[in-house]
Amino acid sequence: MRYDTADLSSTLLEWYDRHARVMPWRAPPHSGIEADPYRVWMSEVMLQQTTVAAVKDYFERFTRRWPTVRDLAAAKDADVMAEWAGLGYYARARNLLKCARAVVADHGGRFPADHDTLLTLPGIGPYTAAAISAIAFDLPETVLDGNVERVMARLHDIHTPLPMAKPELMQEARKLTPSKRPGDYVQAVMDLGATICTPRNPACGICPWRDPCAARSQGTAFELPKKTPKKPKPTRLGIAYIARRTDGAWLLETRPDKGLLGGMLGWPTTDWSENAPQEGPPIATDWHDVPAEARHTFTHFHLRLAIRTATLPNDALPSRGQFIPNTEFRPSDLPTVMRKAFDLALATLRDS
């Protein structure tokens, strides 16, 4: 049976009006509150490859500390990177600052209400530009994230595996995007995928689209969307050097802007490679092995860091890095893998 696309969109919006999730960056439907483009943009950047549950606390801290795009543009790079620590995909934090500064410098502190102009801003790609256009400015742009892909694949019983299926899924999603309330509609499809049309055990019985859903009628919903098998991730090895002066200061370095953990504060390390790492301590001294590895998984590889610790005299002159007084050092400012290494090293340092 064929269903009218306008009816499908209207049905979903009616469901959304009753069941919309409460989000700190969202303007509730029919509330009379206008969406704040700054908050929409920040939430979309933070949510890339991350869950809502992981993002909420970060979003609230960021917007308390930097409530406007002008405040963020004026922030120190190190402060922003420290607040981002633990959220991962650190290039997003660097682009967050670049984008905020571009909005202030080139657009008078206002996000442009135009999809093509949004695409010219640092860190804003097609998905983010479409999401901001729709949610912040109520423009009829089509958004395709993981939730929307799953909903479209099941609604139309599309068996082409991802990522090959993306153009077909985008075409179907575009047909359903209404000209009226497109921002609410975008969020409605996302909510449907997050709460009803979930990856496992979809709640088809209470879905507003259960009748038109082709995969439900064919009994294939549980196997969609199909995905091309991923290649196994390689494992890379490295060494982290964690040193503390006798006055309590820690030896840390800011990693280069380009590359993994770019711009983040961390322990001096060797290069990370699939071969056994070559020793490369930041200072010649008596280093002690920690009998455990810091293990972490990035997007494209697993990392195993051996850990060396040392206590240094107050006149130590390392070849790289800087000493940060213990009163100014916050482990929470470290990216996750560096914090794992610190936790493992701490007991050894206390005993040395």
Question: Among residues 14, 34, 44, 168, which one is catalytic?
Answer: 44
The identity of residue 17, as a single letter, is D
Q: Cis link prior to 112 (omega < 30° from 0)?
A: no
Full DSSP string of 208-270: TTTTT-HHHHHT-GGG-S-BPPPPPPPEEEEEEEEEEETTS-EEEEEPPSSSTTTT-EE--B-
Strands 288-289 and 265-266: unpaired
Task: Provide the β-strand partners of residue 296.
Answer: 303
Q: How far lies 162's CA from each of 135, 150, 170, 322, in Å?
A: 26, 10, 12, 46
Catalytic annotation on 60?
Answer: no
CB atoms within 10 A of CB 18: 8
Closest C-alpha among 276, 229, 51 to residue 146: 51
CA distance 74 to 87: 22
Buried b (16+ CB within 10 A) or exposed e, 273-301: eeeebeeebbbebebbebebbbebeeeee
Q: Token digits for 177? A: 């995007």
Closest C-alpha among 211, 216, 111, 108 to residue 154: 216
Closest C-alpha among 324, 326, 291 to residue 308: 291
CA distance 243 to 268: 9
Give the catalytic positions in this structure: 44
